[in-house]
């Protein structure tokens, strides 16, 4: 009678506790995180000019945002610009409203 083998299962570590799985997930996330890019005032001024231009003529804007160690890209139209709190409110293509701080912006491209 042949022996029934469990295959790969016997070589995988046992993750009994949910805390252990959460800890491993957080560790992997921390290792994949990237550092925040250093943006000088000229680049920041260029991003602001592109944002104002896209808002004035209702063009699509693609913004690259750094949050919590990861880059995200948002594409949509500028709905509102708050100069006091330095935030832009962008209406995405999906219809959602995204609030983006100027400190989080790592790149901006106007799509005419």
| pTM of model > 0.85 | no
Asked if residues 45 and 67 have their Cβ atoms less than 8 Å apart, the reply is no
The neighbouring-strand residues paired with 24 are none
Q: Is the pLDDT of residue 96 over 80?
A: yes
pLDDT in tens, 47-79: 999 999 999 999 999 999 999 889 999 999 999
Residue 56's SS3 state is helix
Task: Determine the pLDDT at residue 83.
Answer: 85
The token pair at 50 is: 């592109």
Residue 27's SS3 state is helix
- Spatial CA neighbour of 80 closest among 99, 61, 103, 60: 99
User: Whole-angstrom distance between the N-terminal and C-terminal Cα of the chain?
Assistant: 72
CA distances to 42, 91, 109 from 32, in Å:
29, 29, 26
Mean pLDDT taken over the chain: 87
Q: How confident is the model at residue 14 (pLDDT cuts 50, 70, 90)?
A: low
User: Structurally, what CATH architecture does the domain formed by 41-111 represent?
Assistant: Roll (2.30)
CA distances to 58, 62, 70 from 40, in Å:
27, 20, 20
């Amino acid at each position: 009678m042949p022996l029934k083998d469990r295959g790969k299962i016997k070589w995988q570590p046992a993750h009994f506790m949910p805390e252990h799985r959460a800890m491993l997930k957080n560790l992997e996330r921390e290792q994949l995180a990237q550092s925040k890019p250093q943006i000088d005032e000229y680049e920041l001024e260029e991003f602001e000019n592109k944002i104002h231009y896209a808002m004035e003529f209702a063009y699509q804007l693609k913004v690259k945002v750094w949050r919590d160690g990861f880059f995200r890209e948002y594409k949509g139209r500028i709905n509102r610009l708050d100069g006091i709190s330095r935030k832009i409110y962008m209406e995405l293509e999906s219809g959602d409203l995204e609030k983006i701080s100027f400190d989080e912006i790592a790149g901006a491209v106007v799509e005419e």
